[in-house]
Amino acid sequence: MIFGKIDFLNLLPFHVFIKRYARTTQFQQALHYHKGVPSALNREFAMRRIDAAFISSITAQRCHHFGVGIVAQREVLSVLSLPNAPKKDADSATSNLLAQLLDLHGEVLIGDKALRYYYGGGDHQDLGAIWYERTHLPFVFALLCTHHHTKGLRKLSRAFVAKKVKIPYYILQKASHESDLTPAQILHYLTFISYTIGKKEQQGYKKFVQEAKKRGLNPPLNVIRYPR
């Protein structure tokens, strides 16, 4: 299986989990990584060059998934609108569309660079917080999708959400060095991220897709509708 890997801090618990999971199953021998930012992995997944990945939610409406995603219950800290001239973040599809839907006209910043800006005290609007204020629903930024490894991904997904993942100190230190954030900031940020797609999350996701369609805010042209 070729797995699309996003090296953002919001997936640090998943990367720790899958490394352990692969060592205890036959999954290890079949697992290969293909790294990229969300927008690039969206394209790679659509072209079937990778088998599974966390796919931006607006492009994942018909893909196979098993209740795992990247979710902000309220604030997200890593998806921001800055009081600058309007500018999309080329790394993201869903966040740019969400900013349009929320009528936010500043610069969109996502991922670890957004976290550095947030912890630096820069003026911003948090897209997750604004979505919650208007809908009282969580926001699903991505879904863990697959093309055909459905049995394996179902088992992996259930194992991932079954219990909380503890991040070893040496991995936290490495992430701190690479992201230019402190270990305390990383752990604080991760308290705002959840991964289970339950009823509330499904409602939030459905509302996002419906509102985008209602407003005529269509997904990027490179999006392919995945067969069920």
Structure tokens at 151: 């049995």
Domain assignment of residue 71, yes or no: yes
Parent domain of 59: 2-214
Domain assignment of residue 176, yes or no: yes
Confidence check: pLDDT of 223 > 80: no
Domain assignment of residue 177, yes or no: yes
Confidence check: pLDDT of 13 > 90: yes
Over residues 28-45, mean pLDDT: 73
Helix (H) or strand (E) holding 31: none
Q: Are 4 and 53 in contact (CB under 8 A)?
A: yes
Confidence check: pLDDT of 32 > 80: no
Closest Cα partner for 14 from 69, 52, 61, 56?
69
Closest Cα partner for 76 from 164, 176, 173, 204?
204
Structure tokens at 214: 């209602």
What is the distance between the alpha carbons of residues 118 and 180, in angstroms, rounded to a whole number?
A: 13
| Three-class secondary structure of residue 107 per DSSP | strand
Confidence check: pLDDT of 43 > 70: yes
| Residue scoring higher pLDDT (100 or 41) | 100
The number of distinct structural domains making up the chain is 1
Q: What's the pLDDT tens digit per position in 59-80?
A: 887 788 889 999 999 999 999 9
Q: Are 156 and 28 in contact (CB under 8 A)?
A: no
Quote the pLDDT of residue 192: 98
pLDDT classification of 152: cutoffs 50, 70, 90: confident
pLDDT classification of 25: cutoffs 50, 70, 90: low
